[in-house]
Copies of this chain bind each other. A is one copy, B any other.
Amino acid sequence: MARSGKGNGVGSGYVTLEQVAKHAGVSLATASRVINGSTRQVGEKLRQRVTASARELGYLANASAQTLARNTSSLVGLIVHDIADPYFSGIAAGVTRRAEGESLVVVLGTTGRAPQREVQMLATLRAHRARAVVLVGSRTIDEEGTRRLAEEIRIFTRQGGRVACVSQEGLPADTVVPDNRNGAAALARHLVEQGHRRFAILAGPADLRTARDRLDGFHSALSSAGVELAHHNVVHGAFTRDGGYESTRRLMAAGTDATCLFAVNDVMATGAMAALRDLGLRVPQDLSVAGFDDIPTLRDLTPALTTVRLPLERMGEEAARLALDGETPEEPRVVPVGGEVVVRESTAPPTRS
């Protein structure tokens, strides 16, 4: 009377391949071969019977069982600091697009900028036999943390997984690297050309590689142009909108003589513009402001932000490609991504001389 648990297929539990095989009157092996299309041929007649049975019973393969048997899964890891940050969500969109295009499943991990979370996530993904991982976000210059992450990456790779990074040179994995130095340098040259001589910089966290590279690139381009960068005009702070706001308040409270403010990313620049507005200063008349990244959502700020465009989505796609293509190169590959200076209204020739 009662449902006998097994056998009646539709209704409650799961339909297994065995049930399909039985229903089609073939062996488990044959059913398996038909359904996942192995190298082995199966006769037309049986093939028909199996697919018909599978459809009829509503068969859905148990992914864990497949992973266990094949020792590889269709999971791709994606590790970011904060998915609500448009920088990361832009890259994430690229990664997902590519992964889903190859009918893989994306596992999203967020670290909240805690380095040990990256290691943790990597272990979790390894436990799931994830096929590949894309690791996004700059390393700090913390040697120990990097060493541990590198070690975990090596383990992951050794066990057949692939890893690609975005913006993380120095790890044993393929990497997509935005050219932070040259992008910032090009921006600096443009601003100098525009007539600026005294700059202030919202430099972000002192230990963050990306922030440092942008600062360095900007700085050295200034030096080459014979422009000094006063020490007190470089302020550090969080890599966020509020960090930019704070840093700007501090900068202005200390009384800067700069005519142009460079924030090492767009969200900080946004905070800076808000702070300046709150202080009653006009951009660009009183102070020019430039950012970095060209976050799409921020393109509609007024005045529109002069910045360095990074193709975020493409970077994500590219990283996924690196992590998913067949190759396992000897040396980690590096795919450089150029930044393009985009001049908009937030910068203008200085009026104060």
Contacts and interface: CB of A to CB of B under 8 A. Distances in A.
B301 A300 contact: yes
A108 B110 contact: no
A104 to B, nearest CB: 10
Nearest to A125: B105
Contact of A106 (B107, B267, B301): B107
Nearest to A108: B108
A100 B109 contact: yes
Nearest to A82: B93
A287 to B, nearest CB: 15
A131 B241 CA distance: 35
Interface stretch (A60-68, A171-179, A192-200): A60-68
A107 B109 CA distance: 9
Interface residues of A, number: 55
Interface stretch (A84-92, A182-190, A255-263): A84-92
A270 interface: yes
A297 B297 contact: yes
A116 interface: no
Nearest to A88: B89
Contact of A90 (B84, B107, B127): B84
Contacts of A92: 83-84, 89, 108
Interface in A39-65: 60-65
A63 B300 contact: no
B129 A62 contact: yes
Given A83-B83, A84-B93, A107-B106, A63 B127 contact: yes
A277 interface: yes
A167 interface: no
B106 A109 contact: yes
Given A108-B106, A127-B62, A297-B297, A89 B78 contact: no
B108 A128 contact: no
A56 to B, nearest CB: 15
A267 B299 CA distance: 12
Most buried by B among A67, A159, A241: A67
A308 B105 CA distance: 34
A96 interface: yes
A84 B313 contact: yes
A7 to B, nearest CB: 17
Contact of A300 (B106, B124, B129, B273): B273
B110 A93 contact: yes
Contacts of A124: 63, 105
Given A83-B89, A302-B302, A78 B127 contact: no
A197 to B, nearest CB: 28
18 contacts: A14-B159, A62-B127, A63-B128, A64-B68, A68-B68, A83-B93, A84-B86, A86-B86, A86-B89, A86-B297, A96-B108, A97-B110, A270-B297, A270-B300, A295-B297, A298-B300, A300-B301, A302-B303
Interface of A: 12-14, 60-65, 67-68, 73, 75, 78, 82-84, 86, 89-90, 92-93, 96-97, 100, 105-110, 123-124, 126-129, 158-159, 241, 267, 270-271, 273-274, 277, 295-298, 300-303, 313
